[in-house]
Amino acid sequence: MKRAIVLLCSWLLVAQAWAAECDWPQWQSFKRDYVSQDGRVIDPADGKNITTSEGQSYAMFFALVAGDRDAFGRLFAWTENNLSAGDLSARLPAWLWGKREDGSWGVLDDNSASDADLWIAYSLLEAGRLWHSRGYQVAGLRFLQRIVKDEVVNVPGLGTMLMPGRVGFIEAEKRWRLNPSYLPPQLLTRLGRESRTLADVEATTQKMLLEAAPAGVAADWVVWSPEKGWLSDEKTGATGDYDAIRVYLWLGTLADDAPHKRALMSHYQTMAKLTQEAGLPPETVDTQTGKGSGTGPVGFSAALLPFLAGTPALSVQRERVLAHLPGSDAYYSSVLTLFGLGWEQQRYRFTSQGELLTSWERGSCKATD
């Protein structure tokens, strides 16, 4: 009898340790602070409680990484029903939803955001593969067709490119305005297996990432001119900050054997040097001189964790993140932390072909129902 009690207690301790290891506290906190019961991601930063397609797309990815199928389903349903008028295959998600001037709630701007669209399509396809769901697989493929139809153009002198949104980024003087952080290479690699057009976009993106950052730091926005080549964006200037930080995040999370990773990581080492020298990442970088200014929020440190792997700067940024995890009023730092710290904790990886590897799928953790 005593032996049975000892064995039972031992089993309970193991079970508790297993649950603690498999639980993702940062995801649970994010759900509590930012996700409504019906699957809407709420950004409270400006007091307007807006929802963006970006927030929905990131949360879908995090739910998949966590193996949280229930949350994934609610997030997807809310996105399709409220941002795409009930049909993702027919209408790209509106990028902004919130309270209108008349007090009603709904779409505030029906233009799309292609980065969110890529993450949604990717998460649907990978959910279909990992959860063996034909429904998600079909939804992802149909949505991918909509992305290609509505957001991909041929840019003279550059190649096939995914524009930042459905409208508004091709300027009258024949200039194309692009956002490097909207184009994670690993997502394009995976989606390029389903669409030859997006495989071409991946090749153009590699060219942009190497050519449009001569000082080795990413810009928030860049402009392509067939006559003049790459130019600084007139609206935002030669700066990289809250958009550009994601470029380093995407590069850092590439598989070690991913095509072009070595060249890309080497090209962008200026950011690693700036962070190492100052002890903290700069908030803003001049993309022409490579000089940084200000101190980025804790989310910047989190975003750089994968990028700084194996460098002396890593431990300092990790300590900062763990000591100052974002609260319930810092949506953007929270998503950057989920991406960066989640990777650091080996909760997910990407293969060289862009497929998602999760801790629960690999057997080291159990997916939640």
- Check pLDDT > 90 for residue 51: yes
On the 0-12 / 13-18 / 19+ scale of CB atoms within 10 A, 359 is: buried
Residues 331 and 34: beta-carbon distance below 8 Å: yes
Instruction: Render pLDDT for 102-112 as a digit per residue (tens, 0 to 9).
Output: 999 999 999 99
pTM of the model: 0.93
Choose the weakest-confidence range: 55-69, 164-178, 198-212, 354-368: 354-368
Q: Using pLDDT thresholds of 50, 70 and 90, give the confidence band for residue 365.
A: low
3 to each of 7, 9, 10, 12, how far by Cα in Å?
6, 10, 10, 14
Q: Is 115 part of the annotated catalytic residue set? A: yes
Cβ proximity of 285 and 271 under 8 Å: yes
Q: Is the dihedral of CA 216, 222, 225, 227 positive or negative?
A: negative
| Confidence (pLDDT) at 364 | 62
Angle CA 361–191–30, to nearest 5: 50
The residue annotated as part of the active site, out of 115, 233, 241, 243, is: 115
pLDDT at residue 6 is higher than 60: no
Count of Cβ atoms closer than 10 Å to residue 201 Cβ: 26
Q: Do the strands 348-350 and 229-232 form a parallel or antiparallel pair, or are they unpaired?
A: unpaired
Which tokens hold the place of 352? Answer: 């060289």
Residue 86 is classified by DSSP as: T
